[in-house]
Structures are given as C-alpha cells and as structure tokens.
Structure 1
C-alpha cells in the first residue's frame, strides 16, 4: 500500500492505534460519571504545557504531561475538597489553559501559527520516533490501569458513597483516573489534537452504548470503534489531504449516527407489550402451556397470547 511506504505515516498509524485503544478505555468512566467535557479542560491545560516546553526548549510531551497532570489533580481537589463546583473549575481550566498556551507559544522562538494548529487540531507529520516510544509506554500504562482496575473504577463511578462505605479508596481512585485522562490527552495530541481529543474519548463510548448489554461489552465495543475510526481517519486524511484530528472525529460521529439510527429502527421493529390483567395462572415448566424462547427470556402461549414473567406480574407480548 502506498500509505505504508512513508515512515511518518507508519508512525501516525501506530499512534492512531494506540489512541483508538486508550481514549475509549478512559472515556467510558467519564461518560459513566457525566464528566464528558473534562477531556476538553485537560486539552486546554496541555496547551500551556506545550507552550512552556517550546519557550524553554524542552520536549513538549513532558511539559504537557506535567501541566495536564497538575490540572487533573487541581480539578479533582476542587471537586472533592473545595467549594468551587466542578463546572466552574473546568471553566477556569478551559480559559486559563488555552490563554496561557497561546501567549507562551507566541513568545517562543521559532513558533509559528502552523505549530499552534498542529497541536490544537493534530498533524500526522509531527509524530517522531521518540514520540512514538513515549506514546506507546504511556498508552500501555493507561490500558493496564483502566482495564486492570475496571471493577474498582466502575464501583466508584456508580455510587461514590456506597464505594466509600465499602472501604474502597475513593479519593485515590479518582486521582488515578484523573491522571489517566491527563496521560491520554498527551498521547492523543499529535494525531487528534488537543481541542478534539475529548471527542475520541466520548463518541465511541456513546456509540458502543447502543450495542453493549454490559459494561465490559460496552468497553470492548468502544475500543474497537476507537481503533477503526482512528486508524481509518488517519488513512482517509492522508488521501483526502485533510487534518487528521478533524477527519477522525467526523468518522467517529458518522459511526455514532449509524448506531443511533440502527438502535432507533430496532426499537420500532420490536413489538410492544403490556401487562396481562387478572392473570392468576402461574406459568412455569410443566404448566401445560407451550414455552417459546424470546431473546433473553421465555414466553408462554396462553389464550392466544404470549405471556412472559416480568417481576411480580406477566407481560403480554
């Protein structure tokens, strides 16, 4: 394939693969906690870190990572200990982070508007071999942490008070998750861009929720969708000569639209059911009525209708 003849495209595709796996693996917990926009806040803070790196002639990856982790910890501290609500904390990071980044990059020697756009919206040509090694190490750390601790993160996201009563280190787990979000933002900034990384955390998860019947199934489906749209988006951006970040996000949105339409159509095709009134007969094995498998339950044919056990009553299908 022509696209694989170029070293920079090989690196971009590998980076896209890493991003497609890690972003949904972290984003599923943000969706669960209704913090879908936190990735945007982290992206803005990361821009300040990039500006510091360019101004001091330091590798932007490390300064962006340090700034983003600091921002993530600040958000978590204000959310749990401070009096400032989480939305106000996010707003401060949004505006302060991007303003600081723009000012610092403007003062950096040799910085150009093209450099700013590359970090904001992604650029497939800017991933160096050294970047790829760092991205791989960070991505592996994120995947091991989020998948290995899935039960713990899920428990805290479902009910913090219950998890705390059960003896789970809620604050520690929230801090770890915040750091994983920060790391994912830095891993994604070269290909997707700091302004669009949050979409890759959230949109594949939203699509997967249309199909997954369990939390584990949703995570796995979201990661598959993330890989498909990331790798496919980078390939499409090469041939269409479009920004990689925008192409990836548009691909993710297209998948979401298809999933939403398919889910709506499936709901319309399902036959409605109602509760059977005055149904005194108890259905079960040997009750004398034919039993028919129906999705994940059993219907019993009775008086020309199909009845299914639903809690303390029967639904008429």
Structure 2
C-alpha cells in the first residue's frame, strides 16, 4: 500500500495545505497564550463562534463567517477588558459571560429544531476547505508573521512584568488588544475546519508540550511549531486511513506528544 496515496485526492491536498498554514499559526500563538495564561480566554473565544453564527442568522447575514469574525473581535476585546481587571473572580466572570453567550447562541440556532445545520462546526471538517478559504488563511498567516516580528518583544516584556513594560513606554493595553484581536481572527478563520470543541486544545497542547522540554525561548517556539505541524500532518493522514474526523485525530496526536514530553521532562529534571 502506498502510504502517500491519500494525497492523490484534491480535497486531501487542499486539507494538507490548510493544515500546513493553520498549525504553525497555532504553534506560534499558543506559546504566548500559555505565557499570558490565556487558556481560559481562548476557550471562551472559541465557544463564542456559535453566538457569532446566531447573530448572523438574526440579522440575515448571508455569510455567517463574517458575523462570527465581527462578534469574536468584540467578544475578545470585552474578555480582554474583563481579564485586565484586578479581580479575584476574573475567571468566574469570564466563564459566566461565555456560558451566557453560548446559551443565547444555542437558543437562537436551535429554534425550530434547526441546530443540525450548524452541528458540523462542533468538530470541524478540514476536508471541505476550498482554495478561496485557503487564501484567507494565507492572508491571516502573513498578518500574524508581521505582527509577531514587530510585536513579540513587546508582548514578551508585558508577560514578564507589565509595570516595567509600561515604564519602557510600551503601550500595554494596545498590545494586549491587538493580540486578542489576532487570536480572535485566527480562531474564527480556523474553527470551521478544527471544530469548536477542540480548537483550544490545538492552541494549547503544542505550546505546553514544548514548554516541558525547552531550555530557552528559541527552543520553546521552535518545538511548539514543530509539534503543531507534526500533529496536523500525522493526524490528517491517520484520519484518512481510519475514517475518523480530522480535528479530533490531530488533537489526539498532540495529546500523545504532550504526555510524552511531560514524562521526558520529569525524567530529565
């Protein structure tokens, strides 16, 4: 059996291209999400996709992807505002806000028993991606790389010490908001292919795996991207031969990598 036979189909080649664009983005952004302890934030953001779709349905928007993106940006900025408050119950507030938002979205989409039309977004389907949608991913990839080259040092300084970052004339609030908006865009443009239920795992797992074995910042980012890309490619290939949904299979591979690096890291320490 030719192990590369799965690439003989156009939809699999498109899916592979999408994976090769999406996974490096997740590997790069995941490192900062983990550093900034924003796992809860990104999870809430992912679940807000349902509400974004619902908003589009209510206002009769033909392409609900647009309403998802707009709602996600607003939602991300609001969550960022809540997260910046010096409150002991910030996580609880974000959870309540997120749960309420999702419930409203589900209520609207399930009216008249129509939720089945949108249920596929829960687990995603990268095999259905089109060349036009791949172009959107290429654009957000380019934007992310530019932002990372320009803003990484500032974001890293903010992670280390916000007060010191402010003293260095870094616009902390602006950088936080730009990062939140970029995460929102990446999540919303990827969620249809990865799935609401597991997209946060794909953001967090490669970075968390890398953190288990990295000794410096360069290794941290390199391993995160490598683990993310490897999980994407292997998960896509395995899903083809096992007839399992691609998104969950990618996350399973990423989980195996995490536990392997966790064990290795403990033995090495």
**TM-score, structure 1 normalization:** 0.77
Which residue of the partner structure matches residue 210 of structure 1?
212
Quote the RMSD (CA, aligned, Å).
2.2
Counterpart-to-counterpart distance in 2, 1:216 and 1:71: 32
Larger helix proportion of the pair? 2
- Alignment match, 2:101: 97
The residue aligned with 1:191 is: 193
In structure 2, the CA distance between the partners of 1:13 and 1:108, relative to structure 1 (3 Å rule), is: farther
Structure 1's 28 and 14: CA in aligned 2 closer, same or farther, altered over 3 A? same
1:126-148 deviations in whole A, cap 9, x for unaligned? 32222221122122212321343
Q: Given that residues 38 and 198 in structure 1 are in contact (C-alpha distance below 8 angstroms), is that contact kept between their aligned partners in structure 2? A: no
- Whole-angstrom CA distance in 2 between matches of 1:108 and 1:5: 41
Specify the alignment match of 2:253 in structure 1.
Answer: 251
SS at match of 2:170: coil
CA offset digits 1:198-235 (Å, max 9, x no partner) = 11111101111122221122012101111110122122
Shift of 1:57: 4.5
Deviation at 1:89, TM superposition (A): 3.4
Aligned twin of 2:129: 127
For residues 112 and 245 of structure 2, what CA distance do their matches in structure 1 show?
24
Please state how far the C-alpha of 1:81 moved relative to its aligned partner.
5.3
Structure in which a larger fraction of residues adopt strand: 1
Structure 2, unmatched stretches of 5+, are: none
2:177 is the counterpart of 1:167: no
Q: In the alignment, is the contact (CA less than 8 A) between 1:163 and 1:170 conserved in 2?
A: yes
Deviations 1:87-136 (A, max 9, x none): 13321343123223322323499x552x4332111113332222221122
1:36/1:238 Cα in 2 relative to 1: closer, same or farther (>3 Å)?
Answer: same
Give the aligned partner of residue 51 of structure 2. Answer: 48
Alpha-carbon offset, residue 236 of structure 1 = 1.4
Correspondence 1:33 to 2:36:
yes
Whole-angstrom CA distance in 2 between matches of 1:43 and 1:177? 15
Give the alignment partner of residue 241 of structure 2, picking from 239, 242, 250: 239
Q: Does 1:224 align with 2:253?
A: no
Alpha carbons of 1:11 and 1:173: their partners in 2 closer, same or farther (altered >3 Å)?
A: same
Deviation at residue 252 of structure 1 after TM alignment: 0.4
Which of 61, 75, 82 is the aligned partner of 1:78? 82
Q: Quickly say closer, same or farther: Cα 1:165–1:68, change in 2 above 3 A.
A: same
Measured in 2, the distance between the counterparts of 1:133 and 1:108 equals 35
Residue 78 of structure 1, CA deviation: 2.2
Shift of 1:38: 1.5
In structure 2, the residue matched to 1:139 is: 141
1:14 maps onto 2:17 in alignment: yes
Query: CA separation in 1, counterparts of 2:87 and 2:205?
Result: 31
Of the two structures, which has the highest relative contact order with CA contacts closer than 8 Å and spacing of 6 or more?
2
C-alpha displacement at 1:5, in angstroms? 2.5
Partner in structure 1 of residue 62 of structure 2: 58
Larger radius of gyration, structure 1 or 2?
1
